[in-house]
Chain A
Amino acid sequence: MATIRTRPEGSHRRTLRTGPGRSWVATTISGVALLVLLGVHMVANHFVVRSVGGLRSYRQVLEYMQHPAIFTIESLFLLVVTVHAMLGLRGILLDLDPSRRAQRWIDVGLTVLGVLTLAYGYFLIGTLASRA
């Protein structure tokens, strides 16, 4: 079968080093980390608890968050999920082909949104862990 070369030789490696390539690599790495952390989060929160609907009671949530290992895992999970979400949103918005000025605003806006998300998430985790 005849094939047509659509990109120059070696361009794949070059693309991974440039802006869009770096973003793809970051999304992929955070996605892989997320698979592990989300798996732990889901199983620990909903699949090992003996209660209706797999949801923890108020006391169970506080005891769960108090554990140092769980506190670390949940904190890491929040960080990775936020980074992955912001990178995903950025990819979708950049596909709309915005101007360079709009791209800068998108980057700033998503960074602010990500930081606010992390700040509130850590406030929530910290408050619950301290109540136990």
Chain B
Amino acid sequence: MNGSVPGADHRAERGPVLRKGVGIPGSGWFDPRGRALGGFAFSANRVTGLGLVFYLYLHLGVLSMLLFGEPTWNHFIRLATSWVFLSLDVLLILGILYHGLNGIRVALVGSGLVADRQRALWWSLGTVGTIALIGAALHIFGSK
């Protein structure tokens, strides 16, 4: 079985170059060097996913301030509408858009609906995401 797949003999060896194009290895997925577009998209999807999980708990923590009443929340609102926080909001939108749109691509490719169009999907959804990100950034900074 091992001899039937190109590069199968080298799969156990470490290093991103040897793994290039063969598939996502069991470890080292966070290292996008030497990977094709699919590998980079996979790494970025996981990094944004981890970031969004972190944000989920941060968001719950921030919303807990509502339990302490209006003065606490108003104090937070003043802080959250500073340029630094609004910039972090744009970064959050970037993460959400990337993870969501790449998720659509993975679902379409993985389910076999458009298995042979993953590059085209990546670029077209990337364009949609970029436009949406610009719109969101204009809305966020425009409200300041």
* Chain A contacts to B: CB under 8 angstroms: 4-6, 12, 24, 28, 31-32, 34-35, 38, 42, 47, 51-55, 57-59, 61, 81-82, 85, 88-89, 92, 95-97, 117, 120-121, 124, 127-128
When distances are taken between beta carbons in the complex, the residues of chain A under 8 Å from B144 are 52-53
User: How distant is the Cα of A111 from the Cα of B139 in the complex, in angstroms?
Assistant: 37
> Is B81 a contact of A55 with CB atoms below 8 Å?
yes
> Is A51 a contact of B49 with CB atoms below 8 Å?
no
User: How distant is the Cα of A6 from the Cα of B11 in the complex, in angstroms?
Assistant: 14
> Is B60 a contact of A121 with CB atoms below 8 Å?
yes
> Is A88 a contact of B49 with CB atoms below 8 Å?
yes
* Chain B contacts to A: CB under 8 angstroms: 4-6, 26-27, 29, 46, 49-50, 52-53, 56-57, 60, 63-64, 66-67, 69-70, 73-74, 77, 80-81, 85-86, 89, 96, 100, 103-104, 106-107, 110-112, 139-140, 143-144
Question: 3 shortest A-B CB distances, which residue pairs?
Answer: A53-B81, A58-B70, A58-B73
When distances are taken between beta carbons in the complex, the residues of chain A under 8 Å from B110 are 24, 28
> Is B27 a contact of A95 with CB atoms below 8 Å?
yes
> Is B5 a contact of A57 with CB atoms below 8 Å?
no
When distances are taken between beta carbons in the complex, the residues of chain A under 8 Å from B64 are 124
User: How distant is the Cα of A82 from the Cα of B53 in the complex, in angstroms?
Assistant: 9
In-complex Cβ contact of A97 among B27, B81, B103, B104 (8 A): B27
> Is A4 a contact of B66 with CB atoms below 8 Å?
no
When distances are taken between beta carbons in the complex, the residues of chain B under 8 Å from A55 are 77, 80-81
In-complex Cβ contact of B67 among A53, A59, A82, A124 (8 A): A124
User: Nearest A residue to B70 by beta-carbon distance?
Assistant: A58
How many A-B pairs have beta carbons closer than 8 Å: the answer is 87
> Is B143 a contact of A51 with CB atoms below 8 Å?
yes
> Is B6 a contact of A53 with CB atoms below 8 Å?
no
> Is B107 a contact of A54 with CB atoms below 8 Å?
no
> Is A35 a contact of B104 with CB atoms below 8 Å?
yes
Least CB distance, B75 to chain A, in whole angstroms: 11
User: Nearest B residue to A35 by beta-carbon distance?
Assistant: B100
In-complex Cβ contact of A6 among B5, B26, B53, B143 (8 A): B5
When distances are taken between beta carbons in the complex, the residues of chain B under 8 Å from A24 are 110
User: How distant is the Cα of A88 from the Cα of B95 in the complex, in angstroms?
Assistant: 15
> Is B60 a contact of A53 with CB atoms below 8 Å?
no
Least CB distance, A35 to chain B, in whole angstroms: 6
> Is A31 a contact of B67 with CB atoms below 8 Å?
no
Least CB distance, B61 to chain A, in whole angstroms: 10
In-complex Cβ contact of A31 among B53, B89, B103 (8 A): B103
